[in-house]
Amino acid sequence: MTERKRKLDISSGFSDGSNSLAAQPGVNPFTLRPYSQRYYDILEKRKGLPVWQAKDEFTKMVNSHQTTILVGETGSGKTTQIAQFIAEAGYCNINGQRRMIACTQPRRVAAMSVSRRVSEEMDVQLGEEVGYSIRFEDCCGPRTLVKFCTDGMLLREAMTDPLLERYSVIILDEAHERTLATDVLFGLIKEVLKSRPDLKLVVMSATLEAEKFQGYFLDAPLMKVPGRLHPVEIFYTQEPERDYLEAAIRTVVQIHVCEEPGDVLLFLTGEEEIEDAVKKITREIQNMDQKQVGPVKVYPLYSSLPPAQQQKIFEKAPDGIDGGPAGRKIIVSTNIAETSLTIDGIVYVIDPGFSKQKVYNPRIRVESLLVSPISRASAHQRAGRAGRTRPGKCFRLYTEKSFNSDLIEQTYPEILRSNLGSVVLQLKKLGIDDLVHFDFMDPPAPETLMRALELLNYLGALDDEGSMTDVGSIMAEFPLEPQLAKMVVAAPEFRCSNEIVSICAMLSTPNPFVRPRDSQIGGRGKGPLRARRRRPPHAAQCLPRIQAERRGLLVVLRPLPQLPLAQVGGQRPGAAGSGLPAGRGEHGEHRLQVQGLLHQHPEGPRLWVLHAGCPPRAVGALPHSQGPSDGPPAPIHGAGEQA
């Protein structure tokens, strides 16, 4: 009876009289409009997903327990279906109050693509009943019921809403990735559950240390859903490859020439490798006899790629020439495509066995991205990408012996290998003072925590007792590293707030000094100009020397008008002349975000001092390096690709 009432309550509060309409067949309870034919077409496909068969069992489990753990293998449909099951069960309206369902994703592109798919399946408009929230973009409205967001966005939201009272259910997807934000959310939400018995938590993953998670969440029930995976044939190399990039490109070309039709997914470590591989693969295939091989489309995929370009990976493969071989789509990606995204049509996967991982050395206080071997769990996930729609093949560019003996079972959680300065500042802002006893699933090393506390004390964010100061409270409002946040707060003293905000925007986003691909600058270049990374002549003449690096960032950003982008992923006017490649408008968007936070803050008038023509000594007063006598050094920014 309770369950029946909950289903009827799903539409209460949408509009008057909605309960009776919700009970009518053929009427969408979320919009009160008849379902479209497209909804029924998609519904038939949804019913074929393995997770659909477990719908009733899952709903009963969520109704009966505050925390549920779901392990769904590749192809089970958990990412798109679980939020819908919960919405249909009535959790959008609790005791007459409208509540949302939040589903976190570790990456922005996943939050966007999944929300788009779910809105189609629910037959609603994206941005209305279903929305997403990522950095620089909030596609939600007052009617939003299901919200997909990055784990970092939900963590920042908790700073203003510690009990997450806007939500009835929190879904933490891809929990096995153990990102820094996800691990902090584990501890925070575990505490919130004690204060909010009405809040539900669902932890989902494709590969999960189930016993460990069950123990952490006080013996929460576990549900396993099989995947819809076709057989995947695994191939290993006989000997280790000396150059995995060249071996990967060679393998892609061989697949296109010799194998049956089917799309290809190649995993590489970062933007530079990916762009280089895309160019070489395209050139190699274009030089072949087009009558003997089919046409190809080669798409890059990495985190800093503009969203509009990221969505191209979902386009269909090109049609073959009449009477000739079929066309093929080739995607060259970071580990974004490992679990966060599902790309239909992939039949062949090439796995060199490497990824970039964040590593922090607390003794020298330096954080960097290093190319490291993947784990066996990651290798399994990569291979699973090939068996989504039909039997596939996975080419591992390492030996079977290396797989069995050299690769670790699971990737180490990010919290064990990261600088915790920002995390400690956020936890202090949330009122959590006893960091030693905070319920981390994997507690970080005491030395790492001590370094973070020392840094925040040095910056004035914490006093000698470890309590947050007024300056620290302001610093926590900004989505910046603590050193950069302190720069923003201290800038009025030097009368250079405008310039400091610009510099912080440049230092908080990927390296702007990247040569665009040939297709973006209208020429291929010859001879020495074929270097993989090079500054355009204009930029080379105007950029200052290394010792004036921070002022050089201003030189690049100043020609760009401080206005919002005309469209997502667009290029600001003047970017080409300054050496900024297309799609690097993220720097401007970040500046607008920080500037907006300044204006909204009660201390905004004091913090925002606009002096566009400030004396050079004001910006030059910033330290170019911080040695032992100056306190902890700033972390390295833009060191590589963060997937």
Query: Which of 204-213, 411-420, 499-508, 575-584 is modeled with the greatest confidence?
Result: 411-420
The answer to whether the beta carbons of residues 84 and 146 sit under 8 Å apart is yes
Q: Which of 65-69, 337-341, 599-603, 621-625 is predicted least confidently? A: 621-625
For residue range 235-265, list pLDDT tens digits in order: 999 999 999 999 999 999 999 999 999 999 9
**Does position 588 have pLDDT exceeding 80, yes or no?**
no
pLDDT at 119: 96
**Does position 453 have pLDDT exceeding 50, yes or no?**
yes
Percentage of the chain beyond pLDDT 70 is 76
DSSP three-state, residue 71 = strand
DSSP three-state, residue 65 = coil
Q: Is 602 exposed, middle or buried (0-12, 13-18, 19+ CB in 10 A)?
A: exposed
Instruction: Map out the domains of the chain with their CATH numbers.
Output: 2-225 (3.40.50.300), 232-412 (3.40.50.300), 477-630 (no CATH)
pLDDT at 483: 93
**Does position 122 have pLDDT exceeding 90, yes or no?**
yes
> In whole angstroms, what is the distance from residue 281 CA to residue 295 CA?
12
**How do 130-134 and 137-139 pair as beta strands?**
antiparallel
**Does position 407 have pLDDT exceeding 50, yes or no?**
yes
pLDDT at 635: 39
Paired tokens of 459:
């910056």
pLDDT at 141: 92
DSSP three-state, residue 167 = strand
pLDDT at 558: 58
DSSP three-state, residue 507 = helix
421-429 helix and 180-195 helix, angle to the nearest 10 degrees: 20
For residue range 361-405, list pLDDT tens digits in order: 888 888 888 999 999 999 999 998 998 888 999 999 999 999 999
pLDDT, mean of residues 32-61: 94
pLDDT at 94: 76
The answer to whether the beta carbons of residues 274 and 335 sit under 8 Å apart is no
Nearest to 267 by CA among 247, 243, 241, 248: 248
> In whole angstroms, what is the distance from residue 122 CA to residue 534 CA?
47
Distance spanning both ends of the chain, measured CA to CA: 46
**Partners of 98 in the beta sheet?**
93
pLDDT at 508: 76
Q: Which of 188-192, 537-541, 561-565 is predicted least confidently? A: 561-565
**Partners of 330 in the beta sheet?**
264, 298
User: In angstroms, how far is CA 439 from the centroid of its own chain?
Assistant: 24
> In whole angstroms, what is the distance from residue 509 CA to residue 587 CA?
6
pLDDT at 600: 65
pLDDT at 116: 94
Band the pLDDT of 166: cuts 50, 70, 90. Answer: very high
> In whole angstroms, what is the distance from residue 128 CA to residue 144 CA?
5
**Does position 1 have pLDDT exceeding 90, yes or no?**
no
Q: What's the mean per-residue pLDDT of the chain?
A: 80
pLDDT, mean of residues 207-226: 87
**Pairwise pLDDT comparison (152 vs 577), residue with the higher score:** 152
> In whole angstroms, what is the distance from residue 45 CA to residue 431 CA?
47
pLDDT at 643: 41
The answer to whether the beta carbons of residues 367 and 419 sit under 8 Å apart is yes
The answer to whether the beta carbons of residues 328 and 263 sit under 8 Å apart is yes
For residue range 342-352, list pLDDT tens digits in order: 788 999 999 99
pLDDT at 511: 61
**Does position 159 have pLDDT exceeding 50, yes or no?**
yes
**Partners of 359 in the beta sheet?**
368
